[in-house]
Amino acid sequence: MVGVMKTSSDRYSFSFISGALYLKECLAVARLLRQHGDWAGVRDKLIEDNLLRQRSRESSVRLFREIRYRLQELTAKELAYLCDADSQDQRQLLFIAVCLRYRFIREFVLEVLRPKAMASDLQLYPGDIGRFFESKGDAPEVERLKPSSRAKVEQVMIRMLAEGGVLDSAQNQRIARSFPSRALARVVSSGDASRLRFLLLADSDIRELKGRNAE
């Protein structure tokens, strides 16, 4: 077995429903962080120049906070790699950060998508999502969701899965097993290789990648 990953939160947070992967915005923040070296300087610059293109200061602050939480899940090596990687690697690395940040998405990937992928059952059905929601219904954060909020959670989660490359599209909802580049695998494996599970890799593939990168 690949080692157990460490994650930041035991509570279900649904703050991701305000958007999706935020690729451009995350890159802007990561590159500013590389320049300034501290989060306070990044925050001030983003708000002063409205680099996140929000309608109000309050919206900029909220979006910055959400992006910061995600990027803080990445290691220093992963953050540095994110700034200059190709688009697919950037999306996959940000999706790893999303899974680490949001327990609900993480568990959906590991409990629903990854087992289906391992069994070559590559179509995601509404029933798969419905059963997953039901399995988490005892959690107070899930229980408090109104039907409209639950629908929004599902909509944004599906969009994020597509943007992260584990679904072919939000419309078709076919599971896409996209093998990470060797460069991305090397960066992730230098920290916690079990994070590669979020890209739907089998444990045997993760061990092989980790072995190659140790050579």
Please say which residue of 50, 82, 97 terminates a domain.
97
Structural tokens at position 90: 């950037």
What's the pLDDT band for 54 if we cut at 50, 70, 90?
confident
Q: How far apart, in whole angstroms, are the C-alpha atoms of residue 76 and residue 162?
A: 26
Structural tokens at position 186: 């090397």
Residues 75 and 132 in one domain: no
Please say which residue of 97, 116, 135 terminates a domain.
97
What's the pLDDT band for 11 if we cut at 50, 70, 90?
confident
Residues 173 and 212 in one domain: yes
In 3-state terms, what secondary structure has residue 175?
A: strand
Q: Which amino acid is at 17?
A: I
Q: Which amino acid is at 69?
A: Y
Please say which residue of 97, 123, 146 terminates a domain.
97
What's the pLDDT band for 132 if we cut at 50, 70, 90?
very high
Tens-place pLDDT, residues 146-158:
999 999 999 999 9
- 102 strand-pairing partners: none
Q: Give the count of domains, the chain.
A: 2
Of the ranges 137-146, 152-161, 184-193, 204-213, which one carries the lowest mean pLDDT score?
204-213
What's the pLDDT band for 7 if we cut at 50, 70, 90?
low
Q: Is position 136 within any domain?
A: yes
pTM greater than 0.95:
no
Residues 134 and 167 in one domain: yes
Question: What is the extent of the structural domain holding 117?
Answer: 102-215
Residues 114 and 211 in one domain: yes
Q: How far apart, in whole angstroms, are the C-alpha atoms of residue 95 and residue 159?
A: 11
